[in-house]
Amino acid sequence: MSEINLELNKIAKRFGGNQAVDHVSFSVTKPQLIGMIGPNGAGKTTLTNLMSGMLKPSSGTIYLNGLRIDGRAPYHVTRAGLGRTFQITRALNRMTVMENMMVPGLAHEPGARQSDLEDRARQILSMLTIDHLTNEYSRALSGGQRKLLELGRLLMLDPSVIILDEPFAGVHPRLQETIYNYIHRVHEDGKAIIFISHNMGAVFELSQRLIVLNFGALIADGEPQQVKNDPAVIDAYLGHDEDD
Amino acid sequence: MALFKRIQSAIDRGIGRRRLGYLLLGLVVLFFLWFPNDTSQSNYAKTVFISGFFYAILSSSWALLAGIAGQFSFGHMAFMGIGAYVAGLFARDGITFAALGIALSPESISAVGAIIIGTTAAGLVGLVIGWLLLRLRSSYLALFTIAFSELFRIAMLTEYDFTGGSNGLSLRPLLEVADVDTARQIEYYLMFGLLIACLLVMYRVTHSPIGIFLRAMREDEDAASALGVNVVRYKILVFVFTSMIVGLAGAIFYSDVGSERIIPEQLEVLQMSLIIAYACIGGMESLLGAAAGAFISRYLLEAMRQVVITLPFGLTMADGSDAFVWETGAWRFALFGLVMVLTLRYMRNGLLYPIFTWFSGRDLVMKETVAKRKHDEDHAAMLEDQDE
């Protein structure tokens, strides 16, 4: 089981006059399934981009397993043990499914034998039920299959923390089940998973901990049932009466 | 069509497509090795071939840079020019590093030494340009490299006293063979050997992990980076690598191997456009396709300088002849442009792509994949029926 210690200290990101992420702090110290929710524009994806190195924070620090990763290049963060998927799937279109799997495999283990990496890739693709598409160009895959491919690529990196941005969006129910299984299995392997979703059913079914953002600030962090009844969360989702 | 399918299935059952492809490739190489020994061929024909090899190197290395790594650069001819000009200037003037107490007189620099210096200079400029281009993508990258290319050309044109301006610069001859026929033959093999060496090195790179990273970078830089690929390193690497290849090719070609002097006209954007066109026609994502595209295009453009048209149905010209000679002039380039337009419209992967795909057996793998999927769908339908 990989060591997990992700720590965000007062992370902030400002785009001009817009405070996209407002001094957010939280830490992940064990293999947990963490749901991250919030209304549109709450700063979920921006926070993901800050954690994965796609954006540099305006202030604050992020540590992963004792290594400071804020402002580091994405490939550096990935090699430090944090993997992510994208809200809009980013398959490498003019490369086959196997080649898509080999990119993280070769980047993560430069000295590994290609045949060993291919064997591992086949096992992962089989688990994700897309092994029959191994030699297909990824542009030929359906939206759901591309999501599965993204999830498979993450496993080639063997990260300790995985961030899934909207893993269920636009996916056929049958494939959603495969993604559910994936999340459970990866979690059992001892990895921490932070997943962003607007699918409340999935969020409450899967999460052991829930983080809620609104207007870039963290407004709740705790067990799902406790967070569900939090007045600040209810207010963020349902709004409040002007007279109150 | 039925005959083609029968031949195809016979090949699949027999030698196999891939092996047949290698066999044909071997025959092509043998032809090129034999060609200069054919006494019926003139030195002019060999010169056309030498030029074809040179452009094949330029085109295939551009295919690596733009088609495989996704860096759509217009600066390729400028890097070729840097290799040639630096080699020429060093061989002519020597160099003095006063601070280090190093002074190299022109006499102490051999033609090979000058070529090495020129190649290194092209690589160093490639390093700087690659670094400057880190944050530029697609059209911005193209515009930047056009500006860089023009800047270099104008500098070479304007610094008349130093570079020879529009008259060009002569490089130290690489070979000093008195007999013209023998010299042509050696030059032919030298350029052909250089082409084969460059293709082999580039093939090795594209079929290594670096090749996979370059293609990932081409598809989506952010996604590649998120998958652990050091995009900055590979972007600079591919610029340095391809710059050195064309720098080397330029320095050798203009060392009186293919041409006796480098002129700024060779660095014009139009020349660069031709390199791009050769690669597009042959296949931008294939080194061999781009090289073949360049060689065949160069050969045909040369062969079409004069076209003899024989009149049909016993018709004759006013002077009684039954044929007339058409001096094609710029029209051959117009025709070439038409081929380029049609290729981009109907066969974006290049005219040779279907041939390479067929020989590689890629279409068989795809068919197998589709068949498996069909099988899966049938299996899923059967399970659903059982559930009902």
pLDDT of residue B376: 56
Distance CA B275, CA B5 (A): 36
Neighbours of B237 (CB within 10 A): 19
Note whether A74 contacts B209, CB cutoff 8 Å.
no
pLDDT of residue A178: 87
pLDDT of residue B102: 80
pLDDT of residue B47: 93
User: Model confidence over A29-38: pLDDT tens digits?
Assistant: 888 999 999 8
Mean pLDDT over the full length of chain B: 89
Note whether A94 contacts B215, CB cutoff 8 Å.
yes
pLDDT at position B379 over 70: no
User: Model confidence over B315-346: pLDDT tens digits?
Assistant: 888 888 888 888 888 888 888 899 999 998 98
User: Model confidence over A136-181: pLDDT tens digits?
Assistant: 999 989 888 999 999 999 999 999 999 999 988 878 888 888 888 8
Note whether A133 contacts B369, CB cutoff 8 Å.
yes
Chain A partners within 8 Å of B222 (Cβ): 54, 74, 90
| Residues in A 122-161 with any Cβ partner in B closer than 8 A | 132-136, 153, 157
Q: List the single residue in A with minimal CA-CA distance to B374.
A: A132
Q: Which domain holds residue A34?
A: 6-94+154-238
Mean pLDDT over the full length of chain A: 89
More confident residue, A46 or B372: A46
Note whether B213 contacts A108, CB cutoff 8 Å.
no
Residue B385's pLDDT band (boundaries 50, 70, 90)?
low
More confident residue, B79 or B363: B79
pLDDT of residue B315: 83
Residue A217's pLDDT band (boundaries 50, 70, 90)?
very high
Residue B10's pLDDT band (boundaries 50, 70, 90)?
confident
Note whether A103 contacts B226, CB cutoff 8 Å.
no
- Residue A52 in any domain: the answer is yes
pLDDT of residue B382: 55
Q: Of the given ranges (B9-18, B164-173, B234-243), which has the lowest mean pLDDT?
A: B9-18
- Residue A115 in any domain: the answer is no
pLDDT of residue B307: 82
User: Model confidence over A56-88: pLDDT tens digits?
Assistant: 999 999 999 989 999 899 999 999 999 999 988
CA neighbor of B214 nearest in space, from B200, B198, B231, B239: B231
pLDDT at position B171 over 60: yes
Chain A partners within 8 Å of B373 (Cβ): 132-133
More confident residue, A213 or B104: A213
Q: How far is CA A7 from CA A60, A65, A68, in A?
A: 11, 9, 9
Q: List the single residue in A with minimal CA-CA distance to B362.
A: A135
The ipTM estimated for the assembled molecules is 0.89
- Residue A183 in any domain: the answer is yes
Note whether B365 contacts A135, CB cutoff 8 Å.
yes
Selecting from A86, A106, A135 the residue whose C-beta is nearest the C-beta of B212 gives A106
More confident residue, B375 or B359: B359
pLDDT at position B134 over 90: no
What residues of chain B have any CB closer than 8 angstroms to a CB in chain A? Answer: 209, 212-213, 215-216, 218-220, 222-232, 285, 365-366, 368-369, 372-373, 376
Q: What is the mean pLDDT of residues B22-26?
A: 94
Selecting from A75, A99, A132 the residue whose C-beta is nearest the C-beta of B225 gives A75
Using a CB–CB cutoff of 8 Å, tell me whether A40 touches chain B.
no
- Residue A147 in any domain: the answer is no
Give me the CATH number covering residue A197. Answer: 3.40.50.300
Burial of B341 (0-12, 13-18, 19+ CB in 10 A): exposed
- Residue A20 in any domain: the answer is yes
Distance of residue B17 Cα from the nearest chain A Cα, in angstroms = 18
Q: What is the mean pLDDT of residues A227-242?
A: 75
Q: What is the mean pLDDT of residues B194-214?
A: 96
pLDDT at position B383 over 70: no
Residue B263's pLDDT band (boundaries 50, 70, 90)?
very high
Q: What is the mean pLDDT of residues A39-64?
A: 93
Note whether A132 contacts B376, CB cutoff 8 Å.
yes
Using a CB–CB cutoff of 8 Å, tell me whether A67 touches chain B.
no
Q: How far is CA A3 from CA A208, B373, B384, in A?
A: 19, 39, 43
Q: Specify the number of domains making up chain A.
A: 1
Per the structure block, which two tokens stand in for A58? 């305006």
Q: What is the mean pLDDT of residues B104-126?
A: 92
Distance CA B291, CA A166 (A): 44
CA neighbor of B60 nearest in space, from B274, B275, B241: B275
pLDDT of residue A60: 95
Selecting from B219, B222, B225 the residue whose C-beta is nearest the C-beta of A95 gives B219
pLDDT at position B384 over 60: no
Residue A244's pLDDT band (boundaries 50, 70, 90)?
very low
CA end-to-end span of chain B, whole Å? 45
Residue B363's pLDDT band (boundaries 50, 70, 90)?
low
Q: Of the given ranges (A44-53, A232-241, B89-98, B190-199), which has the lowest mean pLDDT?
A: A232-241
Of all residues in chain B, what percent are helix, strand and coil, respectively (each to 5)?
Answer: 75, 5, 20
Percentage of chain B modeled with pLDDT above 70:
93
